[in-house]
Amino acid sequence: MMEPSEKEAPAVHTRDVWKIFEQEAGEVPAVRGVSVSIARGEFTALAGPSGSGKTTLLNMIGGLTRATRGQIFVSGRELTGMSAVELARLRLQEVGFVFQAYNLLPVLSAMENAEFPLLLQGVEESERRARISELFARTGLTGLEDRLPGKLSGGQQQRVAVVRAVAARPALVLADEPTANLDTAASESLLDMMEELNRELSTTFVFATHDRRVMDRSRRLVRLVDGEIESDDVRTP
């Protein structure tokens, strides 16, 4: 079967994807034959209890871990046979990450953290600064540019992480439990911001979450149980 071209391909497409971990007790399947397609511009949540395989699936989509079987396509490009270098390039160009623990680089300021992927992409300084300033203004981070992560609140750090994820204009942002460490107000504010970025920049967001607030905001909810898709609901906002 011909795969669609990169421009018209879905942001994510998986076909019968398995991930089996080898452990002392034997083989432990974390993801079992997941096939799912996520169109460009979607705001999708992969939900499920702990151990349901949602983070593992997210990591496989982001090329952070390799599938044991099956095929994964990101923007029409198959990840399965890619080398470590090709996967790194794909992440740099196509994928942004938001982690539960923010994972900002502690020695860089908020501005420097946000522009780091742009530096790796070789974007000119004026263009970098313009993009980050604009995103900082949108996300209420103006004035915090020179602060180190240790001097920012959890919510502010996660906002910087989201700016870092979208600044390089990736096709896809993968967010693993982005609200897990935030209080309700900070979570709502972060979700407002991500919805806005999704709407205005058409960036595809895929969340791995068990946070009800994220599930409620998502326009598609894929439920995973024991590594398999239990339900896949498209919801009307």
Contact set with other proteins (CB under 8 A): 56, 59, 62, 64-65, 84-85, 88-89, 91-93, 97, 99, 101, 103, 105-108, 112, 116-117, 119-123, 125, 164, 176
What does the CA dihedral 132, 134, 136, 140 come to, rounded to 10 degrees? 180
Q: How far is the CB of 126 from other proteins (least distance, A)?
A: 12
The nearer residue to other proteins, 97 or 207, going by C-beta atoms, is 97
Based on C-alpha coordinates, what's the Rg of the chain?
A: 17
Q: How far is the CB of 74 from other proteins (least distance, A)?
A: 13
Pick 69 or 220: Cβ nearer other proteins: 69
Q: In what order do the strands lie in the sheet with 95-98?
A: 95-98, 172-176, 204-209, 43-47, 220-225, 228-234
Query: Residue 59 contacts by C-beta under 8 Å, 6 or more apart in sequence?
Result: 65, 176
- Which of 121/189 has CB closer to other proteins? 121
DSSP state of 171: S
Token pair 């996300």: residue: 139
**Closer Cβ to other proteins, 56 or 221, answer by number:** 56
